[in-house]
Structure formats: C-alpha cells, structure tokens
Amino acid sequence: MKADLLKLRHYCAYQERCHSEVREKCYGLGLRGEDIEEAIAHLVEENFLNEERFARAYAGGKFRMQQWGRKKISMVLKQKQISPYCIKKGLEEIDEEDYRSTLQALAEKKYHQLRGEQLLKRQYKTMQFLLQRGFEQELARETIEQIAKKEE
C-alpha cells in the first residue's frame, strides 16, 4: 500500500486529476475496495487531489488549448463524475470576453472556408461546427447572423 500511495502521489503531482481517474489508476495498480477509498482519502487530505482545482484546470485548459465551448466542457466533466458545484466553479475560469471572441473567430474562419456554398448551407455547416465544439446554440446563432450581415 505504501508503494502504491507513492505512485499515486506522483500520478497526481504530474497533472491535476479527478477522483474517477485516480480510481482507474488504483485498479491498474491492483488495489480494490477499501484500499482505493483509503488511498483517495489520503490524497485528498494531502491536497494531491482536489476536484474543484481539477475542474478549474480542465475547463480553462480545454477552452484555451482546444477552444471548446462551455457545453462540451461541462458534459465531459459530468462524465468524469465531477459535482455540479465543481463544474460551475470550473466554468468560471473562462472569461466571458475571451469566450465570445473565440466563438467569433472560429465562426468567421469556418464561414469563410465555406465560400462556395449557398448561404443557408454555409450557415448550417458553421452552426453544426460550433455546436460540435460545445458552444451554446443561441450564442452561435447570433454570431453567425452577425457574420452573414457583414457579408451582404
């Protein structure tokens, strides 16, 4: 158990982790049942494991590096069994102004790539692209309408 705990500390120190990732790692190390819960409790106690910190790092990173929207980020965090409170805190890492300018830049780039398409098809494909990235439908629609107006 001592050696496993050391491995888990290194695992958590390398980058932020959530409980479910650590649980998976425990299974990989051959830990079961009570040992896993004990290990997680130790890591939380020693501040190697903190779900709010993980959510903040994850949300900020996915937005900045991969330009994901809030919906996609929160969906993945839910899949990782992060609490709604921590998801909310994580999404607060995303600056509203940056969010809108990223959405605008992605929409413009995609819209201009589809130059040969008919107007409605262009708007539809751009919308699908933005929704796939996890941006809110209302925001995406407004942004595409603004771009289309500029083009007229």
Tell me: the pLDDT tens digits for 76-105?
Answer: 999 999 999 999 999 999 999 999 999 999
pTM of the model: 0.90
Q: Write the DSSP assignment of 60-86 as a string of letters.
A: HHHHHHH---HHHHHHHHHHTT--HHH
Cβ within 8 Å of residue 29, ≥6 positions away:
4, 7, 8
Distance, CA of 73 to CA of 39 (rounded, Å): 27
Distance, CA of 52 to CA of 74 (rounded, Å): 13
pLDDT of the residue at 22: 94
Q: Which two tokens stand for residue 126?
A: 């751009």
Mean per-residue pLDDT, 111-135? 95
